Amino acid sequence: MSNIHDQAMHYIYQQVLQRVLDHMSQAQRASVQLLIQRLLVAAGGLEYIGEFRLLVLHANDPRSARLLATLRAAQLSIALRGPETFHLRVVVACQPALRNELLDDHERAFSALFLQEDPRVELLMLKAGQVQPFSARLHATDGSLPGERQGMLLFGHLSGGRPEALLGSRLHLELADACQQLLAWKGGASALITAIPERQRRRYLAWARSGMRLAGERGLPGAHPCAGALCEALGRLHRVAASPLDSPTTPGETPSQPSALRLIAIDELLPPQGDNDRVVQMLGLRHLAIASGTPLGAFFDPLALAHLRGLHAQLLQGAGESPCSQSMHEQARALLQQTYGIGDTQLACLLFTPFNHRGRGLGLFLKRCHPSMRVALPYLHQALQGKPCPDTVQQWLLDTSGLSMAQLRALYAGNVAPSAMRLLDSLALRDAHLRLLPRLEVFREAKTWAVT
């Protein structure tokens, strides 16, 4: 029976490979052969290819779809030539969270490539900062972690409440921190493979080094550091950004020895194919993000950012209805609630940043969002200064901000370590694509209120 099953699976794999190759252009089929040669060299030869474990972060853009199809074609081609092939670990990543539509897209692509039934393939996903087996049937529960929630709220208040910064470069730190778990997940991986262009990789590395320098961290060794060391270093930065009010550790004191993980870049093997790429069409993808010009942003869903922009425009600029549909706003609201446990009440407070600079914007925040609390403005200042005040005032602050009184008073007084504030300043100047944003006035005054 086992022999019959193996023969049947072998035939299915042949059919899958043939279908993928039939949808590829001549250049794409040549890329598969070049990729096979590169992987055999990286594994140390055909006799070691069965022990080679390849890790790929899978996003929701055409580049990622072509990469996955090319990897699958290479995996099946090697398997048909010899007794073994490499193991493939596919990790679906999308910040701040995966929508059901995206999960359905990924499931269709995995089915088209016959990945779920192949024991040489492992499908995983990053959800709420944790590694989980891939499933397109997510329960609509609050998967937020307390540390992620507090980190997002504090970063929003300290970075000026700008939507592009709030869901900007800091999400790269979250993603890198979560990726550390992959290095120890069931044997880890031999290599990380990516199709991100070299210019974008250099930008990412320069941004990482700059953040480490600003936080007082030890730098990364070499011009092309190990991917494991890079994730470990960015994970430390994420913890600094998530707890900016805590006492900083001694610079360069920590790092544990990360697992070695080489990087295999094949961006030159996957040239853009335009809108009529038959491989992408074969995978049945319906909600692709067009990220060809900014591949570093392919791991981030623009829906949540659109919701924040709409909320920001309505509350702070008095704009009318957002161009996003009501259903899109509801989806984004649910994503932020499930990922960070933050509702629109806390988001509105965060966008106004009313507690910074000894509550300079508190009056405007009350006028726009909570006019019934304007009579309590003196008591709010007393509470934030640590003076006696009615319990109802303190409770209102807790419910509206989502932060503790100790954190609110630290924001009010500006008790932030200079190294943490420098890092937050840098993070707030880059969006999710690591593009430079205009500097806000809040950072010109940061040195006057950030204290040791």
pTM of the model: 0.90
Distance, in Å, from the CA atom of 426 to the CA atom of 444, rounded to the nearest integer, reads 12
Distance, in Å, from the CA atom of 174 to the CA atom of 155, rounded to the nearest integer, reads 13
- Check residue 258 and give its pLDDT: 56
pLDDT in tens, 327-340: 778 888 888 888 88
The total of other beta-carbon atoms located within 10 Å of residue 98's CB is 24
Low-confidence ranges of the chain (pLDDT < 70): 1, 138-144, 221-224, 247-259, 273, 275, 289-293, 318-324, 440-452
Buried b (16+ CB within 10 A) or exposed e, 42-81: bbeeeeebbebbbbbbbbbbbbbbbbbbbbbbbbbbbbee
Is residue 159 within 8 Å of residue 428, measured between CB atoms?
yes
Is residue 89 within 8 Å of residue 288, measured between CB atoms?
no
Which distant-in-sequence residues (6+ apart) come within 8 Å of 210 by Cβ? 426
Tokens of 332: 């984004």
- Check residue 251 and give its pLDDT: 45
- Check residue 155 and give its pLDDT: 96
- Check residue 444 and give its pLDDT: 39
3-class state of residue 130 by DSSP: strand
Q: What is the phi-psi region of residue 222: left when phi exceeds 0, alpha when psi lies from -120 to 50, beta otherwise?
A: left
Q: Where are the beta strands (DSSP E) in 170-232?
A: 191-194
DSSP 392-442: HHHHHHHHHH-S-HHHHHHHHHT---HHHHHHHHHHTTB-TT-PBPPPPHH
Residues in the chain: 452
3-class state of residue 261 by DSSP: coil
Q: Which of 443, 403, 428 is nearest to 243 (CA)?
A: 403
Q: What is the phi-psi region of residue 341: left when phi exceeds 0, alpha when psi lies from -120 to 50, beta otherwise?
A: left
With residues binned 3-state (H G I as helix, E B as strand, rest as coil), the percentages for the chain, rounded to 5, are 55, 10, 35
* Cα separation values, 360 from 178, 179, 348, 374, 418, Å: 36, 39, 16, 14, 21
3-class state of residue 360 by DSSP: coil
- Residue with the two structure tokens 């932030």: 416
Is residue 102 within 8 Å of residue 285, measured between CB atoms?
no
Distance, in Å, from the CA atom of 215 to the CA atom of 241, rounded to the nearest integer, reads 9
Distance, in Å, from the CA atom of 231 to the CA atom of 407, rounded to the nearest integer, reads 28
Which distant-in-sequence residues (6+ apart) come within 8 Å of 44 by Cβ? none
3-class state of residue 91 by DSSP: strand
Torsional sign, CA 411, 440, 170, 331: positive
- Check residue 137 and give its pLDDT: 77
Is residue 42 within 8 Å of residue 262, measured between CB atoms?
yes
- Check residue 390 and give its pLDDT: 95
Which distant-in-sequence residues (6+ apart) come within 8 Å of 350 by Cβ? 153, 156, 157, 161, 166, 342, 401
- Check residue 64 and give its pLDDT: 93
- Residue with the two structure tokens 């981030």: 300
Label each residue of 134-162 as H, E or C: CCCCCCCCCCCCHHHHHHHHHHHHHCCCC
Distance, in Å, from the CA atom of 253 to the CA atom of 84, rounded to the nearest integer, reads 43
